Amino acid sequence: MLNLLLSTLALTRAAAAAGYQWPSPQYDALEDFLYEGGRPDGSSLGALVSPCRLRGATNTTVAAEWVRLVYHDAATHQIADGSGGLDGSIFFETDRTENNGAGMNNTLNDFSVYPSKYVSRADVIVLGTVMAVATCGGPAIPIQGGRIDANVAGPYGVPNITDSLDSLKGTFAHQGFNVSEMIQLVACGHTLGGVRYPDFPNVVPGSGSQTVVQLFDDTQRFDHSIISQYLDGSTRDPLIVANASAASDLLVFSADNNVTMQSMNSEQAFSSTCSTIFQKMFRTVPSTVNLTDNIDLVPVKVTGVQLTIGSPELQFQANVRLQLSSNHTTVTMYWCDRYGSGANCASKLKRFTAPSTSAPVSSPFSATMNLTLQKYQFVVPLAANQSISKFWFEIDYGNGTTTVANNNGAFYNIDQDAVLFVPSQSRPKAVLSGSNGVFIAAAVKSTNTPSRVYVDWIGRATKNFIAVNGTTDLKLNSSIPSVAGYNFYTAEITEEYGASMQFDVISVQQNGTSLADTYKWDTLIGLNTPAETQVNSTTSSAAGGASGAVAVATAGPWTWSVAAAALAVLSAAL
């Protein structure tokens, strides 16, 4: 029965996977960030906030500062004309009184190195917020991606702590929130952190120390203490008790005679309400922006694919991340040759190997969801006269159940091997003597005579927060000996592109068509690659299946609604 349940769940995942197929560059980048916590090079935004850590020597949390910033970015929204909202304009607005405080600049500094080709500054703000909420005991809030960054400041929009109730209502209404939603946003936003001296010296007395923070409630958790302590009269919230002329929380919380506050006065109600209202805030974007679907977990996730020059010929690298239900899971990668008698698995000829390494991955978000994620890295040598056309995985869960992950039957395809990025011949800018550039090497088949080989690059994590992009031509480099029928083309990119650069290596053929090796990161150059593993061959079954395997594609997003559907299928089968 257990095997039937697992197979049924896998089948239902496949049925729900219609909206996702690898590669899906934007979705893949957002999903990696949300469930693994940061960039592909291991730089972790989640580690800056987890486990609900304090900010330096203060008594407030990093999470509180991150949650404050997301509303201040969204507050520029004008529902009447659809302008403003969560667009990253906050990066250009910290000189305003409404955005004062060390916490704002701390947060911008935390977030500044994480924007990339497919993850905007505004998306980083939302990703950081859900990690902050999760690591401090709050819910795992569903999010979408696809926000577009503004490159200038937006309109003023954050309410002032000395505003009247009518003014507060009007401000939130302009942003698209009614009175009850205003109360929810403020209560959910103020469950973490407090008011810092000297940001608001008329509210919090101090002696000049930046570490003096008067907290909104008695806990450092994302919980309903802000509600319960307000209702029972024990609140310490400085925007209620400290200064009658700056009692904005009191005005907001009591705006509907405490009806909304009473409705949130339990952990379950608070968590659910905050999740709902934060999701609405996250969707507060300019009307010209179309957000993605919810970023659901891809239970079998392929990343880090690189066909390149190895020793002595080609090398293929790929990662697969699994959602584990057993500590006894084993994974095997299979692939088909591109050339020769076994091309495209002719005569059922397949190659296979075990992973080189494996390691757990996590983020505050995935940890809150109690997900166990394991990433397996594969590194194998290939003969140039065989190469690789497509690959897939067989997963043995160690309980009698085996599944085949083959991208919903489409396989994980390697589109071309005529132009390849070569990390081993490239050099990161940090190790280039006397240069601020990065040295890029590409391999092009010597049977090709391209009219142009170039790098199309973008950097979004810049000092002035404005993305830069460009193209750089690569030139034939005869000082690097040819390998396995490939010549090397190189160039140094010296433009200032910020903390990271993503790039495509493109070869333009004589007939005008282009071939590309896409979505590479400069910060991955120079990282150690695990040892290659042994390549084996078999003709035991057709491509995409294995002897005795349940041929189930499991590469689609997984949600609790999918689980419910799976159980319904199981019930009908029994």
* Confidence tier at 435 by pLDDT (50, 70, 90): low
Tokens 């009850």: give the residue: 180
pTM score = 0.91
Show the CA angle centred on residue 363, arms to residues 362 and 364, nearest 5°. Answer: 130
Residue 293 lies in a domain: no
Closest CA to 442 of 457, 460, 459, 462: 457
Q: Are residues 445 and 553 in the same domain?
A: no
Give the dihedral sign, CA 97/98/99/100: positive
Amino acid at 177: F
Please report the pLDDT score of residue 546 as a whole number: 47
- Domain span at 346: 300-416+530-558
Is 294 part of any domain?
A: no
Beta carbons within 10 angstroms of residue 451's beta carbon: 11
pLDDT at 508: 98
Reported as a pLDDT band with limits 50, 70 and 90, residue 17 is very low
DSSP state of 349: -
H or E element, residue 517? strand 514-521
Both structure tokens of 473: 């031509």
Residues 177 and 269 in one domain: yes
User: What gap in Å lies between CA 256 and CA 182, rounded to an integer?
Assistant: 11
Report, as an integer, the average pLDDT of 106-135.
98
92 bridge partner residues: none
Say if residue 317 is in the same domain as residue 439: no
> Would you say residue 184 lies in a domain?
yes
Mean pLDDT of the chain: 91
The interaxial angle of helices 560-573 and 2-15, nearest 10 deg, is 130
Question: What angle is formed at CA 337 by the lines to CA 331 and CA 340, rounded to 5 degrees?
Answer: 155
Q: How far is it, in rounded angstroms, from Cα 261 to Cα 276?
A: 15
Among the candidates 282, 310, 342, a domain finishes at 282
Alpha-helix residue ranges (DSSP H) falling in 196-241: 225-231, 238-241
- Note the Cα 564 to chain centre separation in Å: 26
Q: Which two tokens stand for residue 315?
A: 């090398």
Least confident of 46-50, 211-215, 446-450, 561-565: 561-565
Alpha-carbon span 40 to 28, nearest angstrom: 11
| 72-82: average pLDDT | 97
Rounded Cα distance, 49 and 213, in Å: 18
- Does residue 526 have a pLDDT over 60? yes
Predicted pLDDT at 314? 98
Does some domain include residue 122?
yes
Neighbours of 310 (CB within 10 A): 21
CB atoms within 10 A of CB 212: 20
pLDDT > 90 fraction of the chain, expressed in percent and rounded = 82
- Domain identity same for 256 and 178: yes
Give the span between the Cα atoms of 122 and 128, in whole angstroms: 10
- My answer on whether 261 and 382 are in the same domain is no
Cβ 235 vs Cβ 241: under 8 Å: yes
**Tens-place pLDDT, residues 238-251:** 999 999 999 999 99
- The answer, yes or no, to whether residue 292 has pLDDT greater than 50, is yes
Say how far apart CA 240 and CA 186 lie, in whole Å.
Answer: 13
* R_g of the chain, CA atoms, integer Å: 27
Model confidence at 205: pLDDT above 70: yes
The yes-or-no verdict on residue 80 having pLDDT over 60 is yes
187 assigned to some structural domain:
yes
Do 486 and 547 lie in one domain? The reply is no
For the cut 60, the answer to whether the pLDDT of residue 560 exceeds it is no
Same domain, 354 and 240: no
Three-state SS for 562? Answer: helix
Q: Is 102 exposed, middle or buried (0-12, 13-18, 19+ CB in 10 A)?
A: middle
Kindly state the helix (H) or strand (E) to which residue 187 belongs, with its residue range: helix 179-189
| Total number of domains in the chain | 3
**Residue pointed to by tokens 């049925």:** 15
Q: Is the pLDDT of residue 18 over 60?
A: no
pLDDT at 461 over 80: yes
Whether pLDDT at 572 is above 80: no
Taking only the tens place, the pLDDT of each residue in 55-76 is 988 889 999 999 999 999 999 9
Contact 280, 81 (CB under 8 A): no
**Residue 351, amino acid:** R
53 and 162 share one domain: yes
434 and 482 inside one domain: yes
Residue 437 lies in a domain: yes
Q: In this model, does residue 271 exceed pLDDT 70?
A: yes
**Residue 118 — pLDDT band, cuts 50, 70, 90?**
very high
Q: Please state the three-class secondary structure of 35-99 as a single string.
A: HHCECCCCCECHHHHCCCCECCCCCCEHHHHHHHHHHHHHCCCECCCCECCCCCHHHHCCCCHHH
CATH number of the domain within which 546 lies: 2.60.40.2440
pLDDT of the residue at 433? 54
Q: Which of 217, 247, 282 is the last residue of a domain?
A: 282
Whether residues 217 and 356 fall in one domain: no
CA distance 507 to 421: 11
Instruction: Confirm whether 357 is domain-assigned.
Output: yes
Contact of 243 with 159, CB cutoff 8 Å: no
Same domain, 144 and 251: yes
% of residues, the chain, pLDDT over 70? 90
Lowest mean pLDDT among 192-206, 411-425, 510-524: 192-206
The reply to whether 499 falls in a domain is yes
pLDDT at 384: 98
Q: What is the CATH number of the domain that holds 507?
A: 2.60.40.10
Residues in the chain: 574
Residues 327 and 451 in one domain: no
